[in-house]
Amino acid sequence: MKKEYRTKFKADIMEYLRLNKDVRFCASDVFEYMCGNGVTINLTTVYRNLDKMTENGILLKSKNPTDECCFYQYTEPDSHCKEHLHVQCKICGKILHLEGSFMKEFNDYIVSEHGFILDFKDSMIIGICEDCK
């Protein structure tokens, strides 16, 4: 019976992720959504599920540079997040995937000129999106 609850929680969290796939969120956002929809869950369970989803590549995890708060974003199964950088709006939290042929050129430049190997999956360039500027 305990396993069924975990599966239900994961399904509920996945529903939240699908509804919010273009924005970053924190564990308390998921918790508030769940409670507001009548799901009885504790914040520790939300964190545990988000951590497992991050480990499984379902979520990107980043820290807010100002207060070290962790944020997450859903990644589509075929998004190839290990192959491109990400841009995050510091106002609304929206994350964009910088996909395209220029990513290889950029990576080659960083390696050849600076000897630095990028970790695309965990990358985040902070700025202001078109909607917030």
Tell me the pLDDT band of 4, cut-offs 50, 70 and 90.
Answer: very low
Residue in this structure with the two tokens 């991050």, named with its chain if needed: 54
- Determine the residue type at 22: D
Q: What's the pLDDT tens digit per position in 84-107? A: 888 888 887 777 888 878 888 888
DSSP code per residue over the chain: -HHHHHHHHHHHHHHHHHHTTTB-B-HHHHHHHHHHTT----HHHHHHHHHHHHHTTSEEEEE-TTT--EEEEE--TT--GGGSEEEEETTT-BEEEE-STHHHHHHHHHHHHH-----GGG--EEE--TTT-
CATH of domain 81-133: 3.30.1490.190
How far does the chain reach from its first CA to its final CA, in angstroms? 49
State pTM to two decimals.
Answer: 0.66
- Please report, rounded to a whole number, the percentage of residues in the chain having pLDDT higher than 90: 29
Average pLDDT, the chain: 82
Domain ranges within the chain, ordered by starting residue: 1-77, 81-133
Q: Which two tokens stand for residue 97?
A: 């995937």
What is the fold of 1-77? Arc Repressor Mutant, subunit A (1.10.10)
Q: What's the pLDDT tens digit per position in 47-77? A: 999 999 988 888 888 776 667 788 888 876 6
